[in-house]
Structure 1
């Protein structure tokens, strides 16, 4: 609103100044022309019978009327021209707004006097186009993930049916083989459950529905409990998790939502860590905030992928198999939750180290 008012005032001042200058120049030309005519005619001796002299004498007798006509008509046309200028600007802005709504990449073009408005309209148009492209890309990634997950569902279903059929048909199978087949079928069924959960995650995903229910918690105990729950996963890849967090860090937050953030970060660290390596979780408190770091040893993530790592439905693992990653929503939701708490989350990767920094206010 302030920008529009300042632009309107600036244009009004410019038009007024240009109109005054035009009137002054027009007046100067009229007076200069009149004086020049008198000077030129004074240089010659005219006969009264000369038609030019008679015409000049006739005009001199009526010079007040000519002056009134010259200045009246001239001033009227000049004032009319500058008075109608805002309406021409308005029409050009209306035409420009149609260009903003179009789907092409052509920039809006306005007169130099409206360069500030031109820049704002072009920024709005580019932002809208970028948002549309991002939405289309996110939708395409979502559709691809649904296709991939549907394809992946076939494998565990086929395996479960195959092993259960084998157990049903082979009555004389040994107890050892029976237990082995049951374990495989159970593993495939659990994988099937994970894939179905990913389907639910995709279909119900909407960041705007996330709301916080804050309460006072002990962050140190939350992280300690999280590490305890991940012990089976850590042992599965022979990983060591080093927790370096001061005791008694108290903060006001939504514990369930924040638990989801930390769960996702630690799960990613496990999935993308080298075997027989370590995961480091540290916390440093400031005056009003706490900085949490989740760091692991794994393949370096390129800068291009890092720049998109918090996008909806974006997965580092772009292969068809979803065995090493989820639906690509975890980090997008984590970022939204952290920002709703008034914090920030950033990702870094170099020299086979992956690090996530989470900064959160304590109150």
Structure 2
């Protein structure tokens, strides 16, 4: 707690000026600790006739801060559980393929197919482990090819479509440009694409008609761009709600949060019978 904030050496001139103009007599800072690190502070002001906070008030507000920290961790856990769905379905699908190959009556097993499926199976289970560990371990930035990440996630989404027997949905990859190097958290980028692809799949499934998902990636000025489109147009009202962050869908909330975290941009286009999410990130030079 800082008493007489106007005289404190711990506060900036702007904060001192603010405290004078708003008749603030003392400021109580409560740290929010997440994963053993102070991530945020809650600030409470004693104003006008109130000179400072009592011990009982400090105890209550500290308890409130601890509960907020717990809620933040639970929110992150809910996000991870949400994003487990697609890789879990894909893993089951690839595991079945491997089992069929091993149990086949053919004299010579197609080793290339077997190893390809095993490789994807190992990578996806490792990724699920990384997602679980991200609750406790800070993510690390890397330079990756945006298109390569996108194509891997498209492969997983196609397996999900196949596993769920969604025969009315087709994926189409167009205008792919490789070498779109961006600095990002790879796991977060994968989660963005997984959620966009899942939402596109779900949108077509909800319509109950045949439809397709169209994938594009390209360079636009100094940015790498990915477009994920699905058949069907949303209303202008729904579009505005989504862009304002007022959508109830957890997947969309995760997408917007992670795109903003990595200083990306997101646009939502509705035209020619398609709804398109366009995400872009600053390009960087790859150091060999």
Q: Please give the TM-score of this superposition, normalised by the length of structure 1.
A: 0.39
Length-normalised TM-score, structure 2: 0.46
Higher normalized strand content (fraction of residues): 2
Bigger-Rg structure (1/2): 1
Which structure shows the bigger proportion of residues in helix conformation? Answer: 1
